[in-house]
Structure 1
């Protein structure tokens, strides 16, 4: 397992899992598993529980972060990559007071490749290259987490697909 910076504004980590690619993809496409996968503890619970099934689909997640002005908050994610069972990704944003959605420009993406006879190599990437200037001027640090976050997330994913529960 290693964490790499694949581009100036992208960081990724890769882990081989002892589970078939279709199983790994199904877990990632289920928003109810995202809190268990998250390596920071910020993701609390899926508000929208339907499996991710199409580009443009949105799903909301309840979040908590001690440095967020409200502590508890909600994000809206929009599916921007959906290539079963090879890739899935979403753009994160929020619902503004007027009800419109605004996305910050950062994308979470999982790329899956069959490995060995029944395993899967999973690469988790966080790409903030499309974050607009006005968002950067808000003082948000990118990435907003340390490198262990991606590693922890992949180990949690492994616990779900291999052992049926998240692992530390």
Structure 2
């Protein structure tokens, strides 16, 4: 693959603020995930600032834990994070790949959402390990967007009934 990123876009019939609220809650990430690898959030605080760390338990082969660092957060338009690991000595190591959601309101109740996975900053010592990027078929991004749409619609309906 010549490109070092993949993305998918879906229009969701929900306001951008509702979509963003779902994305800013780590407790929803396992339900959004299109790969089935994301399990439970270790850190459950809502994402509120650049630099914030949040850990997720994962399952791909043997279980493991990742640490994410919020890279961009502009409610209700953009949220993105780098993914890495916490070493045994407590040092954080990020691999150079990131996830990003860009939200574009198309009116009061429609939002175009683009999910991107970018691995252009992965250093050679990681690439030399033979890790394939992306480590999943690109259609997993589309799956994630459809999961996000279902969660955002449910959240919006619940909020509207209160």
TM range (shorter): over 0.9
Q: Is 1:80 the counterpart of 2:55 in the alignment?
A: no
Q: Is 1:154 the counterpart of 2:145 in the alignment?
A: yes
Once the two structures are TM-superposed, the CA of residue 122 in structure 1 deviates from its matched residue by 0.1
Distance 2:126 2:21 in 1: 32
Once the two structures are TM-superposed, the CA of residue 20 in structure 1 deviates from its matched residue by 0.3
Distance 2:131 2:74 in 1: 30
Equivalence for 2:85: 94
Equivalence for 1:65: 60
1:92-139 CA-to-partner distances (Å, cap 9, x unmatched) read: 000011110000000100000001331100000000000001111121
Equivalence for 2:113: 122
Which of 103, 113, 118 matches 2:104?
Answer: 113
Q: Is 1:23 the counterpart of 2:18 in the alignment?
A: yes
Q: Is 1:53 the counterpart of 2:48 in the alignment?
A: yes
What is the TM-score with the length of structure 1 in the denominator? 0.90
Q: Judging by fraction of residues, say which structure has more helix.
A: 2
Distance 1:157 1:86 in 2: 15
Distance 1:51 1:132 in 2: 30
SS of the residue corresponding to residue 85 of structure 1 reads coil
Distance 2:107 2:142 in 1: 21
Distance 1:135 1:84 in 2: 32
Unaligned runs of 5+ in 2: 156-162
Distance 1:76 1:100 in 2: 11
Once the two structures are TM-superposed, the CA of residue 163 in structure 1 deviates from its matched residue by 2.8
Unaligned runs of 5+ in 1: none
Displaced runs of 4 or more, over 2 A: none
